[in-house]
């Protein structure tokens, strides 16, 4: 095999290797992949995996692979296909079902055809590694571990974790929030938001009924912990000698500054996501009903309107704008109040109010707030809103430029 | 030879995951030989550590420290998305043998 790999490296050009990746012969596919990966490492290229795995459209067709406790994905075997029979392996079937539920959620709620909006195939890998306490998205597929049975159970058991990972793909194909610092924390938050919404949608739960926990189903009963994260109360998901303490903040003032390194969680992306997580929870509960409806749409449209370096303030402003554009004063006030409660004052534009602020609250009563205007200062409020509009136009122009660059 | 494995990151990086270690002198001759073979294979493939997450989200990374009888320890670091076949084989072996102790 190694001699074949060396020959492929020397003689076969990359475009041919990429075509060989589509071969029905597994041995040929593996050899081509190994060649491309070795070549990429030699050239210092990091993007070959993304470049080679551009999936053809397929209405989100699912395939689940069994890693058989290995860590090298090319050696995984097909365990279930979209129209194939269900095997006896529960993990395979849970992953298959979870991928399908997430796919249906995005289709029915947001009219989105799979992760990329164009029917991207959904591939899942189960039984990854030995007692692997994690699940991840590699830019093309999602991968699940079985857990060690002590801290964690099988990660395919958690629909919110499955949806969380797939939502990383949605973010990548929309705003593509970079995975560092505040944009990275927003990236993580978007995945927690959609992860929780998929679960709520599948259960028919209202915002009040939902537990707003991420990964509750992957922790073993013996561990005294609620979940991996709590959107409702960041920082309270766990606190014991075995796991340590949940480090998530619930307010901007308690933002955790960490180095932008692997050890620093790339600036605390899994930690500071607690701040926008709580904002979404608060907005959802304030609006009431099903969280995937108004709040979910406001957040989704705001994601579409964001870009790689969108930070908390800009995203908050966008959610306020979208709330006004898509819904009305009630939703806009809920969103504004939610962000304020986590320490971010929205500088959004109030739809249909002529710059007079949110005006009326629920039931036609006079609104209590004049966000973003200072009380009694209409000119200052108008000036601030014009500035906010200008910022929005700038963002839109950047989005258009980015979209043009991608075509 | 002593081999130590530390794991980092993942979708809940705040949760501590205990390190693992294997001492070759405590292994059977067959297992010790297998470990030596796997270590030799890993040392011939350049380890690719992450300077950036790239497209990976919630991936874990691994630091394997090889303490041999002579010389400085060798430190290898890879992630779930930069895993070579030889590193994967060593990682799996360590997980199986360290947990068995």
Q: Is B29 exposed, middle or buried (0-12, 13-18, 19+ CB in 10 A)?
A: exposed
Residue B83's pLDDT band, with cuts at 50, 70 and 90, is confident
DSSP 8-state class, residue A309: T
CB pairs under 8 A between A and B: 121
**Which residues make Cβ contacts (< 8 Å) with residue B17, sequence separation at least 6?**
A133, A151, B7, B10
pLDDT digits (tens, 9 = 90+) for A330-367: 999 999 999 999 999 998 555 544 333 333 333 333 33
Confidence of residue A389 (pLDDT cuts 50, 70, 90): low
Domain that holds residue B76: 2-50+58-99
ipTM (interface predicted TM): 0.90
Of B11, B49, B88, which has the smallest distance from its Cβ to A228's Cβ?
B11
Interface contact flag, A137 B14, Cβ < 8 Å: no
Return the structure tokens found at A23. 């071969």
Number of helices (H), then strands (E), belonging to chain B: the values are: 2, 4
> So what's the pLDDT on residue A45?
40
Residues A172 and B55 sit within 8 Å (Cβ to Cβ): yes
pLDDT band, residue A208 (cuts 50/70/90): very high
Pairing of strands A62-66, A122-128: parallel
Indicate yes or no: CB of A136 within 8 angstroms of CB of B55: no
Structure confidence at residue B10 (pLDDT): 93
Structural class in CATH, domain A181-406:
mainly alpha
Cβ contacts of B46 within 8 Å, gap of 6 or more = A41
Q: Could you give the residue ranges of the DSSP H alpha helices within A252-311? A: 265-268, 274-287, 294-304
A161: which chain B residues are within 8 Å (Cβ-Cβ)? 11
The token pair that represents A206 in the structure block? 């209202």
Nearest CA to A324 out of A343, A348, A292 is that of: A348
Judge whether A274 and A259 are in contact, CB under 8 Å: no
Catalytic residues of A: 165, 270
Q: Is the pTM of this model over 0.90?
A: no
- From the list B9, B46, B88, the residue facing A262 with the nearest CB is B9
In this chain, the answer to whether the domains covering A62-157 and A181-406 adopt an identical fold is no
Boundaries of every domain in chain A: 2-52, 62-157, 181-406
Q: Which residues of A touch B14 (CB under 8 A)?
A: 244-248, 270-271
The pLDDT of residue A379: 54
The whole-number pLDDT of residue A268 equals 96
Are A263 and B60 within 8 A, CB to CB?
no
Q: State residue A366's pLDDT score.
A: 34
Residues of B with CB under 8 A from a CB of A: 8-17, 46, 48-50, 52-61, 79-81, 83-85, 87-89, 91-92, 95-96, 99
Q: Establish whether the linkage from the previous residue to A372 is cis, with ω within 30° of 0.
A: yes
For residue A270, the model assigns a pLDDT of 96
A214 contacts: CB under 8 Å, gap ≥ 6:
A160, A161, A164, A192, A195, A196, A227, A228, A229, A230, A231, A237
Condensed to tens digits (0 to 9), the pLDDT of residues A212-264 reads 999 999 999 888 888 999 999 999 999 988 888 999 999 999 999 999 998 89
Q: Nearest CA of chain B to the CA of A288: how many Å?
A: 29
CA A204 to chain B, closest CA, distance in angstroms equals: 26
Q: Is residue A199 over pLDDT 80?
A: yes
For residue B87, the chain A residues in CB contact (below 8 A) are: 71
Contacts of A247 in chain B (CB under 8 A): 14
Structure tokens, A380: 């200052």
pLDDT at A57 over 80: no
Whole-number percent of chain A with pLDDT over 70: 71
Kind of pairing between the strands at A135-137 and A77-81: unpaired
* Integer Cα distance of B6 and B19 in angstroms: 5
Number of domains in chain B: 1
Alpha-carbon gap, residue A329 to A354, rounded angstroms: 13
CATH number for the domain whose boundaries are A62-157: 3.10.170.10
**CA angle in degrees (0–180, nearest 5) for A166-A297-A271:** 50
Q: With a cut of 60, say whether residue A372 has pLDDT above it.
A: no
pLDDT at A355: 35
Residues in chain A within 8 Å Cβ distance of B57:
136-137, 139, 165, 168, 179, 187, 191
């Amino acid at each position: 095999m190694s001699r074949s790999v060396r020959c492929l490296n020397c003689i076969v050009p990359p475009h041919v290797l990429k075509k060989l990746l589509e071969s029905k012969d597994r041995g040929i596919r593996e050899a081509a992949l190994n060649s491309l990966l070795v070549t990429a490492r030699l050239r210092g290229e990091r993007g070959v995996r993304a470049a080679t795995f551009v999936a053809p459209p397929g209405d989100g067709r699912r395939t689940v692979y069994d890693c058989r406790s290995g860590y090298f994905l090319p050696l995984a075997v097909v365990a279930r296909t979209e129209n194939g029979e269900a095997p006896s392996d529960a993990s395979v079937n849970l992953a298959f079902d979870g991928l399908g539920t997430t796919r249906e959620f995005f289709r029915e709620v947001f009219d989105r055809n799979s992760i990329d909006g164009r029917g991207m195939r959904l591939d899942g890998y189960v039984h990854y590694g030995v007692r692997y306490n994690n699940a991840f998205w590699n830019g093309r597929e999602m991968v699940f571990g079985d857990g060690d049975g002590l801290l964690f159970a099988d990660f395919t058991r958690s629909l919110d974790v499955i949806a969380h990972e797939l939502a990383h793909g949605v973010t990548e194909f929309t705003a593509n929030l970079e995975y560092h610092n505040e944009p990275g924390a927003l990236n993580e938050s978007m995945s927690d938001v959609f992860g929780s919404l998929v679960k709520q949608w599948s259960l028919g739960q209202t915002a009040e009924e939902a537990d707003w926990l991420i990964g509750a189903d992957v922790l073993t009963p013996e561990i005294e912990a609620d979940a991996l994260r709590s959107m409702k109360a960041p920082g309270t998901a766990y606190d014991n000698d075995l796991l340590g303490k949940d480090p998530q903040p619930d307010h901007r003032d308690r933002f955790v500054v960490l180095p932008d390194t692997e050890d620093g969680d790339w600036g605390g992306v899994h930690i500071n996501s607690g701040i926008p997580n709580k904002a979404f929870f608060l907005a959802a509960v304030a609006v009431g009903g099903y969280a995937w409806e108004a709040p979910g749409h406001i957040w989704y449209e705001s994601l579409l309107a964001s870009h790689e370096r969108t930070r908390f303030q800009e995203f908050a402003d966008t959610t306020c704008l979208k709330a006004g554009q898509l819904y009305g004063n009630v939703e806009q006030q809920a969103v504004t109040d939610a962000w304020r409660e986590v320490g971010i004052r929205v500088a959004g534009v109030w739809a249909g109010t002529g710059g007079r602020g949110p005006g009326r609250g629920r039931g036609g009563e006079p609104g209590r707030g004049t966000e973003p205007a200072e009380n009694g200062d209409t000119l200052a409020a108008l000036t601030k809103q014009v500035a906010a509009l200008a910022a929005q136009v700038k963002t839109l122009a950047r989005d258009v430029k980015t979209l043009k660059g991608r075509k | 030879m002593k081999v130590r494995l530390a794991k980092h990151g993942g979708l809940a990086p705040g949760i501590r995951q205990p390190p693992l270690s294997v001492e070759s002198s405590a292994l059977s001759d067959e297992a010790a030989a297998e470990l030596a073979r796997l270590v030799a294979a890993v040392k011939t493939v350049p380890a690719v550590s992450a300077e950036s997450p790239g497209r990976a989200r919630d991936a874990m990374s691994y630091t394997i420290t090889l303490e041999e009888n002579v010389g400085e320890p060798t430190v290898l670091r890879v992630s779930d998305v930069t895993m070579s076949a030889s590193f994967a084989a060593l990682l799996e072996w360590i997980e199986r043998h360290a947990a068995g102790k």
